[in-house]
Amino acid sequence: MGLLDEALGKAAPGGSLAKPLMIALGALLVGKMMSGSGAAAQPSAPQAGSAGSPGSAGSPDGGLLGGLGGLLNKLQSAGHDDTVKSWVGPGQNKPIEPGQLGAALGQKTVSQAAQQAGINEQELLSQLAKNLPGIVDKLTANGSIPSLQQVAAALTQK
């Protein structure tokens, strides 16, 4: 079982939304890498506090948000630094509300991810808010942000 399969299995028992949620995560984090068209090597992502520029658009290989570092940076820039640190670091993961997540990600990003996942925006935000803390916690188990290739591998592992 893959890392994200395990995280989603624990966060969403029964897995009824696992596939749409994984599609949305793929769109947000790794974009074209999921289909194999963005296989260029990327350096390891920096720590959460210094990941990319907050207003930058996602790269073709880094999905809508430029990878996991881009997602975490967006959340930190929107005032959720303590929440992000709780997900990446040891200890209890702080929750995030769907509205907070939507405001941090931006309407365009949410709309694009929901469209690619085939679910409505409210459902996407609800499921991301419920599952994202655990998924980020699993992906950053060693306290650092994995590279785009590592995230793509985690998303595609069976």
Domain span including residue 126: 3-37+48-156
3-state secondary structure 25-45: HHHHHCHHHHHCCCCCCCCCC
Token pair for residue 70?
A: 């881009």
pLDDT tens digit string along 73-92?
Answer: 999 999 999 999 999 999 89
Question: What's residue 50's pLDDT?
Answer: 35
d(CA 103, CA 3): 28
CATH code where residue 148 lies: 1.10.10.690
The proportion of the chain whose per-residue pLDDT surpasses 90, expressed as a percent, equals 39
Total domains, the chain: 1
Question: What's residue 141's pLDDT?
Answer: 81
pLDDT tens digit string along 21-56?
Answer: 888 888 888 775 444 433 333 333 333 333 333 333
Burial of 16 (0-12, 13-18, 19+ CB in 10 A): exposed
> Could you tell me if residue 43 is inside a domain?
no
> Could you tell me if residue 42 is inside a domain?
no
C-beta of residue 141 within 8 angstroms of C-beta of residue 55: no
pLDDT tens digit string along 101-150?
Answer: 999 999 999 999 999 999 999 999 999 999 999 989 988 888 888 887 88
> Can you say whether the dihedral through the CA atoms of 52, 145, 22, 14 is positive or negative?
negative
